[in-house]
Structure 1
Amino acid sequence: MKITLLTVGKIKEKYLKDAIAEYSKRLSKYCKLEIIEVADEKTPDNASEVVENVIRDKEGERLLKYVKDDAFVITLEIKGKMMTSEELAEKIDTLGIRGVSHIMFIIGGSIGLGEDVIKRSDFALSFSKMTFPHQLMRVILLEQIYRSYRIIAGEPYHK
């Protein structure tokens, strides 16, 4: 299985880079992992809804350039479905059984995803009703993907 994280913005903080590197290394045992970063747009303070939509659309165009037709796309959205770790593991496992060989997880920028990206999504996933920094979300998502593969393999994991 190939897993792609398609994300807006670059990681600047060393502690986040270190965590991403660690989970990338751990995941190499289970899947082929690819992380693609696209440039983010500067969002002015107190930006209007119109300006925010333009920004989301620009970032969305950049993201969609990398989305493969045969990929199963999972977008991270506050309004998405919340799942337990076991349910996410089952989702990944079931997709593999159904013959899906490429899952793309998309993490938007600081103001979320554009409408075209949401339309392309095959599944909307939410980690919480709370908002997290999109850079930190990469680490959380990678940890959960790693946990999913441990569950699928019947290996121990911390509950």
Structure 2
Amino acid sequence: MIAIGSDHAGYELKQQLIAYFKEKGIPYQDFGTDGLASVDYPDYGIKVGEAVVSGNYAFGIVICGTGIGISISANKVKGVRAALIYDENTARLAKQHNNANVIALGGRTHPFELAVKLVETFRNETYEPRHQKRLDKLSIYEKEHCK
């Protein structure tokens, strides 16, 4: 199951992705927002991040205007490795090298067709364990320095 959330600037792209998920039978849970009224992106980045680290979701998708602010927000959640992806290569490498568990998109910077291509590239990629020592360094730092 995919956890997905956005602020107001990412709402339309989120709704398009949800329609795509429904059409393809891809399970998801929507963590908001529920409209175009202005909201704060940290609320939704954190909600999706917490959902992903709960272990109940394969990965998360967060969307704001550019994907930058909401990815920073999701990365504040201990255990989240959120990556802003903008082409197929970054989508692929986010999984292969970083084992990202949240991907960020921009509602104002990612057309729907590109967003679908990036989500599918990420979904179908696998992590390469040869990069684990780097992720272990991040985990050690998190344990020692983050509450």
Band of TM-score, shorter chain: 0.3 to 0.5
TM-score by length of 2: 0.44
| Higher normalized helix content (fraction of residues) | 2
Q: Which has the higher contact order (CA 8 A, sep 6+)?
A: 1
Whichever of the two has the greater Rg, that structure is 1
TM-score by length of 1: 0.42
| Higher normalized strand content (fraction of residues) | 1
